[in-house]
Amino acid sequence: MIKSIQKLEAECFLELQNSNNLFGTDHNITDRERIKWNSIYKLMESLGIETDHELEENKNAVQLIITRCKEKEEVGE
């Protein structure tokens, strides 16, 4: 059960990062994805379950964040 919750959290985190990239951080779709991910994250926190950073979804999400940060650096934001 723990692995299933970790996988769901990772999938939601990846969707959140995809929405950030596609729509921006202030878009209502991104807001919904953030709420969905945060709900699962808070559940994990209350149960003492840690994020599995080795899941492919989490690795992909981190790569999206890194790419977004590099692009912002390039344009001088």
- pTM of the prediction? 0.91
Instruction: Determine the pLDDT at residue 77.
Output: 60
Please report which residue ranges of 24-55 form alpha helices under DSSP H: 28-47
Residue numbers in the chain where pLDDT is lower than 70: 77
Residue 36 CB contacts under 8 Å (≥ 6 apart), including other chains: 12, 15, 16
